[in-house]
Amino acid sequence: MQIQADYSSDGCTGVTYYAETADEYRHGQRKTAKRLGPGVIDITTQTSSSEAVLLMGMRVLVLQRKAPPSTGIVVQDGQCGGAESVRPFWTDLDKPNSPIIAEADPGGPGDPGHPPVTFPFKVLRNDPEVFELTSKDTTCFCTYAVEIDWVVAGKAGKTILNNGGSGFWVGADPQLPAYKNPLQSANPNALIRAKYQQLFP
């Protein structure tokens, strides 16, 4: 049984926290940067065994919760890739025990999508399962891990995915000044004042 998790490019918001001031940003001084917005990871499960593997459940474990910085700025200044068809789930790190909720897959061209599908899932040889987990929060700079319960050949176990020990990152800082940096602008350091909530799709 192999289970791995990586940051998803589909989850990019293009919104970044900078510890610098707006004037420092405009002068190209941008040393401290962290991506903000929902944290999205892709979880791939596969097996080479002739025995089917049952995935019984998935949980989020908050590893660290810090208050967001009170100084700096938030800027929408990046671009993101397009979405792929996976089994989507989401969780809210602001809520106690952060329950994981299945979402419908809207599909796309040539893909009808599917309604929400919940655990358990069966993983067969040459038939992996890929989950996309979106972790939302509005209050903290947090890191988290994901724990998956499974059963194979009558034996139960669990796998903890923690990004090599550092955890997966998710952050929000709605109290700071927010800006947009128009990508079509001739000035790469241009800033236009915006509302924090307008920076996220």
**Segment holding 26, helix H or strand E:** helix 22-26
Annotate 152-180 with DSSP letters as a single string: ETTEEEEEEE-GGGT-EEEE--TTS-EEE
Q: Give the amino acid at 63.
A: L
- State the Cα–Cα distance between residues 11 and 37, nearest whole angstrom: 9
Query: Are residues 60 and 98 in contact, defined by beta-carbon separation less than 8 angstroms?
Result: yes
pLDDT tens-place values along the chain, 201 residues long: 899 999 886 666 789 999 999 999 999 888 889 999 999 999 999 998 888 999 999 999 999 999 999 999 999 987 665 555 578 999 999 998 899 999 987 766 677 777 898 999 999 988 899 999 999 999 999 999 999 999 998 999 999 999 999 999 999 999 999 999 886 666 778 899 999 998 987
